[in-house]
Amino acid sequence: MLIQIHIKDLAIVSSLELQLQPGLTAMTGETGAGKSILIDALGMALGERSDAGMVRAGCERAEVSALFDISQLPQVHSWLQEQSLEDGDDCLVRRVVSAEGRSRAYINGHPSPLSQLRSLGGLLVEIHGQHAHQLLLQNNHQRTLLDGYGQHQEESLQVAAHFNSYRKLRDELAKRKSEESERSSRLDLLRFQSAELEALALSNDELELLQQDHNRLANLERLRNSCGTILTQLDETEPSVRSQLARFADELAELSGLDANLIDAAETIASALIQVDEGVTALRGYLDDLDLDPDSLQQVEQRLGAIHDTARKYRVRPEALVERQQSIQQELQTTENAGEALEQLEQQVREQRERYFEAAYRLSKKRRQSGKRLAAEISQAMRQLGMTGGRFDVELAPLEADDAGASGLERVEFMVSANPGMPLAPLNKVASGGELSRISLAIQVATSSCTETPTLVFDEVDVGIGGGVAEIVGQMLRRLGSSLQILCVTHLPQVASQANQHLQVRKQSDRKSTRTDITPLNLNQRIQEIARMLGGVEITPQTLAHAEEMVRQASEAETGIVIGAAE
């Protein structure tokens, strides 16, 4: 709800601050006084287009700030949280326009782009002017109103959820099918690669063993000569290392009998002799088993060459070939099973599409039923508002199956005929601004229980009407104000008398400047203003009495208007 607005140097407003109340607020004043200035300022604050001409003459900039109570608006809280702009239960929007035409916008003190400000504004205020009907002219909003009126929002959400699941599966299927043409050639390649690597038959530790064999075979002559020389020195020459160790061991054993301190040395030398004997035995066995086949080296080199060539072909290190083979086999298995997976996905798409259409058909049936009730209710309200013979209808234009979407199987269009004998036409094609304002009022009254916008603004909704119809307009607006905040610019005393708050707009001029002031009226001032609206220039006692009676009756009486029954 709008609770405060501050205007500075905008058009003919020098400085103005107003506190707004719940219910119906009427703004009245002489013709040309600038009654729409508050609406223009509010629209500017919420992101409507602006230009340098809006800045008061001689001033550097125009500024408008609007403070809203959002404590009962969870959808606004959620939006602000998503944008990281939340600041408690109040929301302050501010717009500054310079004399050069530059514009800046702020939400809760944070600089914001106009697109963001307009998005927030659509959640806070809905303006209904002769040429400024915003959401009501949009098919999406008309659909939302119908679903809210018929209380089938849950079915609408289910349809959207089913469609989103269906679309996701459908897109995945299209992607898989586009890849299907490449699957056959990819499958051939994977099968060839798998067979090639299987033929190579490389085991996990084979490469390391081959490298060891290659080192041995490539150095076979050196190994044989060096090991033979060592064996000769150890045991086959005189004196050999072994014969000398044996002699030393015997002598130390004998000496240790003379001095026990030599026991450790004797035992160590004896142990060394044993180790030498074992080494000699191992060397003899090694030389006996040493492969002297000249073809062995060639075979190992050929095997290593095949492994390295294959590794280069697959652009991996030789030691990574086994891992690459496993990866290819896994991809081959997945690709071979892709046909079966594609069939399963096609079945899932068919099943989800069926679920979507079943839910959408149920929603369409409920929309048709609710549309008939809503059309009858709004048609009667239009006739009460002086549009004799006027008709309203909710058209559900079927969509082609391929065009059906998250919102259902039809496009919702509000259709209206404002005059007898005229064909129904889309609401956004209504020519008369006054008619459009009254039709919008009828729609708002009929759907007031389901609207999420807390503040509605009507700019001269009463154009072209008078008498009893004007009184009905006022009563409708007052009724609407029982659940929403209503701001209404009006020329009619019958409407102004129904207001919970009354603002008077006055233009004041001197030789140097002109300015517009907006003043909240107390009870006596209200009676004077309504008397002026009734009686013109000269206000008689009878006019004052009539004005007082209108205010009193409006404050005491229940409206008692029946909007729901068709005539």
pLDDT in tens, 133-185: 556 778 888 998 899 899 998 999 999 999 999 999 999 888 877 776 677 77
**95 has which bridge partners?**
64, 105
Q: What does the alpha-carbon distance between residue 94 and residue 452 come to, in Å, rounded to a whole number?
A: 22
pLDDT beyond 50 at 61: yes
CA dist 384 → 422, 439, 566 (Å) = 18, 11, 11
Q: Of 293, 310, 336, which closes a domain?
A: 336
Q: What does the alpha-carbon distance between residue 210 and residue 205 come to, in Å, rounded to a whole number?
A: 9
Same domain, 74 and 214: no
**2 has which bridge partners?**
68
Q: Of 311, 336, 361, which closes a domain?
A: 336
Domain assignment present for residue 132? The answer is no
Enclosing domain of residue 203:
180-336
Confidence at 60, pLDDT banded by 50, 70, 90: very high
What values do phi and psi take at 479, rounded to 5? -60, -45
Burial of 476 (0-12, 13-18, 19+ CB in 10 A): buried
Same domain, 189 and 332: yes
Domain assignment present for residue 420? The answer is no
What pLDDT digit, counting tens, does each position of 364-382 carry? 999 999 999 999 999 988 8
Token couple for 316: 């991996």
Q: Average pLDDT of 93-102? A: 93
User: Count of domains in the chain?
Assistant: 2
Q: Of 314, 336, 358, which closes a domain?
A: 336
Q: What does the alpha-carbon distance between residue 517 and residue 525 come to, in Å, rounded to a whole number?
A: 15
Domain assignment present for residue 23? The answer is no
What pLDDT digit, counting tens, does each position of 267-282 carry? 999 999 999 999 999 9
Q: What SS3 state is found at 126?
A: strand
Q: What is the DSSP letter of 557?
A: S
Q: For residue 24, count other CB atoms closer than 10 A to its CB.
A: 28
Pair 458, 437: CB distance under 8 Å: yes
Domain assignment present for residue 187? The answer is yes
pLDDT beyond 90 at 239: no
pLDDT beyond 70 at 292: no
Name the strands in the sheet holding 410-417, side by side, starting at the edge strand that comes first in the sequence: 391-398, 410-417, 425-426
Same domain, 209 and 319: yes
Same domain, 209 and 325: yes
pLDDT value of position 57: 86
Domain assignment present for residue 88? The answer is yes
Q: Average pLDDT of 2-21? A: 92
Pair 515, 33: CB distance under 8 Å: no
Of 535, 546, 563, 245, which Cα lies nearest the Cα of 392? 563
Q: Which residue has the tokens 């229940």?
A: 558
Q: What does the alpha-carbon distance between residue 95 and residue 6 come to, in Å, rounded to a whole number?
A: 11
Q: What does the alpha-carbon distance between residue 357 and residue 455 come to, in Å, rounded to a whole number?
A: 37
Same domain, 324 and 214: yes
Domain assignment present for residue 412? The answer is no
Q: What does the alpha-carbon distance between residue 371 and residue 374 come to, in Å, rounded to a whole number?
A: 5
What CATH code is carried by the domain that includes residue 67?
3.40.50.300
Same domain, 200 and 94: no
Same domain, 328 and 238: yes
Pair 417, 425: CB distance under 8 Å: yes
What would the DSSP string read from start to end of 201-257?
T--TTHHHHHHHHHHHHHTHHHHHHHHHHHHIIIIISSS-HHHHHHHHHHHHHHHHT
pLDDT value of position 509: 80
Q: Average pLDDT of 14-18? A: 90
Q: What does the alpha-carbon distance between residue 283 and residue 227 come to, in Å, rounded to a whole number?
A: 7
pLDDT beyond 90 at 217: no
Of 448, 491, 501, which Cα lies nearest the Cα of 3? 501
What pLDDT digit, counting tens, does each position of 390-440 carry? 899 999 999 998 889 999 999 999 999 988 888 898 987 875 666 777 788
**505 has which bridge partners?**
29, 518
What pLDDT digit, counting tens, does each position of 300-336 carry? 888 888 899 999 999 999 988 999 999 998 888 877 7
Same domain, 187 and 120: no
What pLDDT digit, counting tens, does each position of 492-506 carry? 899 999 999 999 998
Instruction: Give 236 or 77, the one with higher predicted confidence.
Output: 77
- Buried-exposed string 302-316: b where 16+ CB fall within 10 A, e elsewhere: ebbeebeebbeebeb
What would the DSSP string read from start to end of 466-490?
-HHHHHHHHHHHHHHHTTSEEEEE-
Same domain, 186 and 331: yes
Domain assignment present for residue 280? The answer is yes
Reported as type and span, the H/E element at residue 315 is none
Token couple for 21: 């109340």
Q: What does the alpha-carbon distance between residue 477 and residue 495 come to, in Å, rounded to a whole number?
A: 8
Q: What is the DSSP letter of 129?
A: -
Confidence at 446, pLDDT banded by 50, 70, 90: confident
Q: For residue 529, count other CB atoms closer than 10 A to its CB.
A: 22
Average pLDDT for the chain: 86
Same domain, 251 and 323: yes
Token couple for 68: 């809203």
Q: What does the alpha-carbon distance between residue 97 and residue 104 come to, in Å, rounded to a whole number?
A: 7
Same domain, 94 and 227: no
pLDDT beyond 70 at 129: no
Q: What SS3 state is found at 420?
A: coil
Same domain, 85 and 189: no
Domain assignment present for residue 274? The answer is yes
